[in-house]
Structure 1
Amino acid sequence: QIFKIMELDDAGYIVTDEMMSTSAPGVFAAGDIRRNSARQIAAAVGDGATAALSAFRYLQEMS
């Protein structure tokens, strides 16, 4: 159900910005599910770190 509120590309990958934010507020995506992903473990780990920091900042701004 969550995928219905996020922008997907024609292949079904989640569209994110460089900070891993999706079109759904407070939802972040990382790794192979993301459009333009390198489909490599090292890239997915980096995406995950970026998404985690973005989520942390998002939650800080909410409080």
Structure 2
Amino acid sequence: MAKKAKSRTVVVRLLSMALTGFFKTRIRPRTHRPLSMLSYDPIVKKRVLFLEQKRKKGH
């Protein structure tokens, strides 16, 4: 049985750095560096930095 090929894209979770627990999901190419972006957080009603959350081992 042949091994399954890895996908070229990864679904990542971007977590708000305002520590509100708000997150967004995005798709990025597997070969790119981790995502970070400024975006609106509706809980604090401001634009804040969102950073890619580290994936848990085994998921």
Bin of the TM-score, shorter chain as denominator length: under 0.3
Q: Which has the higher helix share?
A: 1
Higher relative contact order (CA 8 A, sep 6+): 2
Higher strand share: 2
TM-score if structure 1 supplies the norm length?
Answer: 0.25
TM-score where L is the length of structure 2? 0.26
